[in-house]
Amino acid sequence: MSSDSDTEMAEPTAVQQRHRDAAAEVLPAHTDLYIGGEFVPAAATETFETTDPTTGAVLTDVARGRRADVDRAVEAAWEAFDETWVDYSAGQRQRVLTAIADTIETHADELAQLETLDNGKPVSEAAADVQGAAEQFRYFAGIVRENPGETMTDSQRQAQVIKEPYGVVGQIIPWNFPLMMASWKLAPALAAGNCTVLKPAEQTPLSALRLAELIGDIVPDGVVNIVPGYGDEAGAAVANHDDIRKLAFTGSTAVGKQVMKSAADTVTDVTLELGGKSPIVVFPDTDVQTAVSLVAAAIFYNTGECCEAGSRLFVHEEIADEVLDGLVAAVDDMTIGDPLDDATDLGPKVSRAQVNRTLDYLKRAQKDGGEFLTGGGQPDDEALADGCYVEPTLIDGLSHDAAAAQEEIFGPVLTVFRWDDYDEMIELANDVEYGLAGGVITEDISQANKTARDIEAGYIWINSYHDLAPGLPFGGYKQSGIGRELSAETLDHYRQTKTINLSL
């Protein structure tokens, strides 16, 4: 890659020019912290850069929040809670959530472009994320009144059991679906009646900041606060704040464990959406082309940067060769390129660090005896040299205990296993520390149901993948997390139970 000064001197390529033009159009006007309804610089007045992973160019500087800023945000959130938000009826909150959804939809194209610039995902996928974000707010607007209580009476007492919001919650999100993850967090927190301090990932803070800007007139000041910054600064300050009553974290299992430990110090309730290494099981009765399309989507959607990615394929040996040939052909047909181009199937990864992490896994896989059926490195294409690209990769022949089969790579890398004995296959499918999701592909519905039950994971797709409909709980078994998102159950994660016992 050329240095910044070289880039300035050189004539921009078509892709660089396109990204500069798009940035000039959609970068948010404000990239300070959003606290108490206004954009304010960080107390230490420091900033960090966010870059475009397609071109390597710096997009903009963003305020670097630290503990003092998180303190300010928490204070603003409590003030908003005590003085305003606590008095909002469910109906008023419903109108706020609906107005947020409308606003997101009105600005859908702009938000999708911004997401693509900051994260590198194909703009068609960014558009789906924006729609998904709006749907979160609509879904929680729809169930905002779902807050049934209980009563208990006997000769001594007449008691009510009610659910109340926590007050101020802390939310920490990753970079792979920046706007969608923000909406998964904000919508239920607000629906349940809380104010929030949200820390976006340092690689992709822009869509959350733009959302704050767009909804500034809809949400009372201080109800939503956005504090971008580094994980070990702003993130850690959220995770162990004395005045935050509930934490919701999405990210890696390693950081999730740290957040949970921090939460122990303040005895704060915590929900975690963590990593995955999900199995996708193909039975021999399956139409090969159907299997190929589903498996390719399961691993390559969003460049494999999906916590639920189907990253371990268990294909029955009767059709294994055909399915693998089909997958290699599907990879050949994929368009790897500029994510602002509608025709692009696979964009860059989010950062150089993520490229290097994926390449390290590929090297280890090779050492461990894996054979690349396709891919295995970075694309050999001068036009892609500035971007954080990794080839879609299929690895055959690995032992299931190899690192590339056990650990979350979070890239476009599928490890392949052939099976003929069902029980042995299920044992391997479950032999990872994760349990987020899984896929079953067969036309035998009884078999599909049995396998769905046999896989230890919180979400199983039969003959589809990645389809997440609001209303259907999403979350992990084992080390993939605690709690469920996207559902009525989520509202309860943002409420605490109070018993009011009236003596008769």
Structural contact between residues 292 and 326, judged by C-beta atoms closer than 8 angstroms: yes
Decide: is 412 part of the binding site for ligand NAP (CB under 6 A): no
Q: Which of 275, 279, 392, 483 binds ligand NAP (CB under 6 A)?
A: 275
Which of the choices Mg ion, ligand NAP, none does residue 323 contact, using the CB cut-off of 5 to 8 A by kind?
A: none
| 195 is known as an active-site residue | no
Residue 11 makes CB contacts below 8 A (sequence gap 6+) with: none
Q: How many residues bind ligand NAP (CB under 6 A)?
A: 29
Decide: is 270 part of the binding site for ligand NAP (CB under 6 A): no
Q: Which of 69, 115, 118, 129 binds Mg ion (CB under 5 A)?
A: 118
Q: How far apart are CA 247 and CA 234, in angstroms?
A: 14
Place of tokens 């949400």: 219
Closest CA to 347 of 357, 335, 359: 335
Closest residue to ligand NAP in the complex (CB): 231
Order of all β-strands in the sheet with 495-503: 150-153, 157-165, 495-503
Task: Report CA Rg, the chain.
Answer: 23
Decide: is 410 part of the binding site for ligand NAP (CB under 6 A): yes
Span 473-492, contacts to ligand NAP by CB under 6 A: 481
Q: How far apart are CA 457 and CA 319, in angstroms?
A: 25
Structural contact between residues 437 and 459, judged by C-beta atoms closer than 8 angstroms: yes
Specify the residue, 50 or 286, whose C-beta has the smaller distance to Mg ion.
50
Which of the choices Mg ion, ligand NAP, none does residue 230 contact, using the CB cut-off of 5 to 8 A by kind?
A: ligand NAP
Residue 2 phi/psi, 5-degree rounding, is -85, 160
Span 220-259, contacts to ligand NAP by CB under 6 A: 230-232, 235-236, 239, 250-252, 255, 258-259
| 307 is known as an active-site residue | yes
Structural contact between residues 48 and 64, judged by C-beta atoms closer than 8 angstroms: yes
State the DSSP string of 28-52: -S--SEEETTEEE--TT--EEEEE-
For 110: left if phi > 0, alpha if psi spans -120 to 50, otherwise beta; the answer is: alpha
Q: How far is the CB of 350 from ligand NAP (least distance, A)?
A: 8
Structural contact between residues 299 and 413, judged by C-beta atoms closer than 8 angstroms: yes
* Among the residue ranges 110-118, 238-246, 285-293, 445-453, the one whose residues contact Mg ion (CB under 5 A): 110-118
Q: Which of 203, 250, 253, 302 binds Mg ion (CB under 5 A)?
A: 203
Span 1-30, contacts to ligand NAP by CB under 6 A: none
Specify the residue, 273 or 391, whose C-beta has the smaller distance to ligand NAP.
273
Strand pairing partners for 316? 419
- Is residue 193 helix, strand or coil? coil
Q: Residue 39 is encoded by which pair of tokens?
A: 């954009």
Which of the choices ligand NAP, Mg ion, none does residue 390 contact, using the CB cut-off of 5 to 8 A by kind?
A: none
Which x/- pattern over 154-183 shows residues binding ligand NAP (rule: CB under 6 A)? ------------------xxxxx-------
- Is residue 6 helix, strand or coil? helix
Q: Residue 293 is encoded by which pair of tokens?
A: 């399309």
Specify the residue, 50 or 113, whose C-beta has the smaller distance to Mg ion.
50
Q: Which of 22, 31, 35, 50 binds Mg ion (CB under 5 A)?
A: 50
Active-site residue, from 135, 307, 388, 408: 307
Distance of CA 37 to the CA centre of its chain: 25
- Is residue 63 helix, strand or coil? strand
Place of tokens 């924006």: 130
Decide: is 55 part of the binding site for Mg ion (CB under 5 A): no
Which x/- pattern over 433-472 shows residues binding ligand NAP (rule: CB under 6 A)? ---x------------------------------------
Q: How far is the CB of 42 from Mg ion (least distance, A)?
A: 18
Decide: is 273 part of the binding site for Mg ion (CB under 5 A): no
Place of tokens 């690995």: 398
Distance of CA 356 to the CA centre of its chain: 21
Specify the residue, 118 or 129, whose C-beta has the smaller distance to Mg ion.
118
Decide: is 69 part of the binding site for ligand NAP (CB under 6 A): no
For the annotated catalytic residues, the residue numbers are 273, 307
Residues that bind Mg ion (CB under 5 A): 50, 118, 203
Residues that bind ligand NAP (CB under 6 A): 172-176, 199, 201-202, 230-232, 235-236, 239, 250-252, 255, 258-259, 273-276, 307, 408, 410, 436, 481
